[in-house]
Structure 1
Amino acid sequence: MIDRLEKEVDMLERHLQVLKMVIENEPIGIVKMSNETGYPHHKVRYSLRVLEEENLISPSNQGAITTDRTEEFVSELDEKLSEITNKLDSMKIGEKAEAEN
């Protein structure tokens, strides 16, 4: 169960790293992203597809570019991640048991 969560977090981290590269270097292609991140082409391609499905990037002849939705997503990201972190913190069992003793 936790292994799946960890894999999802790793994948989210990759998606966000790819998005950050698009924001900072648009337009940017798969080969350059793969070379700079060390991720294989197929993983970068998958992240780009996910980001495109979320309407956060758009393909162009020169490479991936941001969309109108990107800025809104980025501005909400830190707050959403903090909410998730708080929720995960509240799920800790061992720490609560130690605090109660």
Structure 2
Amino acid sequence: MIDRMEKEVDMLVRHLQVLRLVIANEPIGIVRMSNETGYEHHKVRYSLRVLEEEGLIEPTSQGATTTDQTSGFVGELDTKTTEISEQLDSMRLENTGENVQ
């Protein structure tokens, strides 16, 4: 179970790194993203597909670009990651036998 969670987090990190590149360099193509991140082309392509399905990017003939939904997602990202981090911290403290209030 923990291995699966670690893989999911790694994949999410990759998706967010690809999104950051699109935001900073739009339009940007797979080859450049692969070169800048070190991820294989098929992994970048998968991340782009996930981001497109989420409505955060769209493909163009020049490369990936952001959408109207991107800025809202980025605005909420810090809040959501903080909430998740707090949940994980709570799990860690519960496992050590400390009471969390």
**Shorter-chain TM band:** over 0.9
For 1:21, the equivalent position in structure 2 comes to: 21
* TM superposition shift of 1:21: 0.1
For 2:30, the equivalent position in structure 1 comes to: 30
For 2:44, the equivalent position in structure 1 comes to: 44
Q: Distance in 1 between matches of 2:6 and 2:48?
A: 20
* TM superposition shift of 1:72: 0.2
2:74 is paired with a residue whose SS is helix
For 2:65, the equivalent position in structure 1 comes to: 65
Q: Distance in 2 between matches of 1:17 and 1:57?
A: 13
Q: Structure 2: any 5+ residue segments left out of the alignment? A: none
* TM superposition shift of 1:35: 0.5
Aligned length: 98
Q: Distance in 2 between matches of 1:35 and 1:51?
A: 19
CA deviation map 1:6-39 (0-9, x unaligned) = 0000000000000000000000000000001000
Moved beyond 6 Å, runs of 4+: none
1:59 is paired with a residue whose SS is strand
1:82 is paired with a residue whose SS is helix
Q: Distance in 2 between matches of 1:23 and 1:63?
A: 12
* TM superposition shift of 1:94: 3.7
